[in-house]
Structure 1
Amino acid sequence: MRRRRMHRAVFAAAGAYNIAWGCYAVLDPQWFFRVSGLPLSNSPQIFACLGMVLGLYGLLYLEVARRPEAGWPIAAVGLTGKILGPVGLAWLIATGAWPPATVVMIITNDLIWWVPFALYLRDGWPDYRATFTTVAGRS
């Protein structure tokens, strides 16, 4: 795989980041509301659950780092979420439901990962496709 070492480092960093972010969101589910100026949540358990899910994504990203030739589907789902999250946030900001200060979460959770994830998907597709077609009995 082209740039294998770099991709492994990126997904190891993404995995560690997501696990740390998820743990912090579980331990302090009101942090985002305080930082962004939103009223504190009446149900912080929802944000804690988001933290749990993002932490689990971290485990998946660590698997991509361990075996980058097989991680294409995981990275594709990850990048899709990292694109759709900002789209949803843009809608919330545009409609006035959330203040612009909420962008703080999208910068580190999503935007900084767009280029390295997309580059991995570009570099990894030929290897993944070859493995998939061999396993599926296609040529």
Structure 2
Amino acid sequence: MRRRRMHRAVFAAAGAYNVGWGCYAVLDPQWFFRVTGLPLSNSPQIFACLGMVLGLYGLLYFEVARRPEAGWPVAAVGLTGKILGPAGLAWLIATGVWPAGSVVMIVTNDLIWWVPFALYLRDAWPSFRATLTGPAGPGR
């Protein structure tokens, strides 16, 4: 696989970031609301649950770092979320539901990962495709 060492480093960093972010969100689910000036949540458990999910994504990213040839589906789902999250936030900001300052979360959670995840998907596709077809061909 092209750039295998780089992809392993990127996904190890993404794993560490997500686990760290997730743990912090579970321990302090009101941080985002304080930082952005939004009213504190009446149900911080929802943000804590988001932290748990993002932390679990981190474990999946560690697996991609361990075996990059097999990580295409995880990375594809991860990048899809990293695209849809900012789209949803753009809608919340455009409609005035959330302040523009809430962009801080999207920059580090999503935008910085777009290029490395997309590059990985491009480089990993031939390796992953080979696992789908195998020596017996598709569906055999």
In the superposition, the TM-score normalised over structure 1's length comes to: 0.98
Looking at structure 1, the residues matched to 2 and 131 of structure 2 have their Cα atoms a distance apart, in angstroms, of 15
Instruction: Name stretches of at least 5 consecutive residues in structure 1 with no aligned partner.
Output: none
Whichever residue aligns with residue 75 of structure 2, its letter is A
The one-character-per-residue Cα deviations of 1:32-70 (angstroms, maximum 9, x if unpaired) are: 000001000000000000000000000000000000000
The one-character-per-residue Cα deviations of 1:69-113 (angstroms, maximum 9, x if unpaired) are: 000000000000000000000000000000000000000000000
Which residue does the alignment assign to 1:109? 109
Task: Give SS of 1:73's match.
Answer: helix
Which residue does the alignment assign to 1:44? 44
Output the aligned Cα RMSD: 1.2
Looking at structure 1, the residues matched to 136 and 59 of structure 2 have their Cα atoms a distance apart, in angstroms, of 26
Which residue does the alignment assign to 1:97? 97
Whichever residue aligns with residue 5 of structure 1, its letter is R
Looking at structure 2, the residues matched to 117 and 101 of structure 1 have their Cα atoms a distance apart, in angstroms, of 25
Q: Closer, same or farther in 2 for the Cα pair 1:136/1:14, shift >3 Å?
A: farther
Looking at structure 2, the residues matched to 46 and 20 of structure 1 have their Cα atoms a distance apart, in angstroms, of 18
Task: Give SS of 2:134's match.
Answer: helix
Whichever residue aligns with residue 13 of structure 2, its letter is A
Which residue does the alignment assign to 1:67? 67
Which residue does the alignment assign to 2:120? 120
Looking at structure 1, the residues matched to 94 and 67 of structure 2 have their Cα atoms a distance apart, in angstroms, of 40
Whichever residue aligns with residue 33 of structure 2, its letter is F
Looking at structure 2, the residues matched to 136 and 87 of structure 1 have their Cα atoms a distance apart, in angstroms, of 41
In the superposition, the TM-score normalised over structure 2's length comes to: 0.97
Instruction: Name stretches of at least 5 consecutive residues in structure 2 with no aligned partner.
Output: none
Looking at structure 1, the residues matched to 135 and 81 of structure 2 have their Cα atoms a distance apart, in angstroms, of 27
Q: Closer, same or farther in 2 for the Cα pair 1:40/1:3, shift >3 Å?
A: same
Correspondence 1:16 to 2:21: no
Q: What is the Cα deviation at residue 131 of structure 1?
A: 1.1
Whichever residue aligns with residue 132 of structure 1, its letter is L
Q: What is the Cα deviation at residue 126 of structure 1?
A: 0.6
Q: What is the Cα deviation at residue 138 of structure 1?
A: 2.2
Equivalent residues, number = 139
Looking at structure 1, the residues matched to 75 and 30 of structure 2 have their Cα atoms a distance apart, in angstroms, of 29
Looking at structure 1, the residues matched to 127 and 30 of structure 2 have their Cα atoms a distance apart, in angstroms, of 42
The one-character-per-residue Cα deviations of 1:107-136 (angstroms, maximum 9, x if unpaired) are: 000000000000000000011001111177
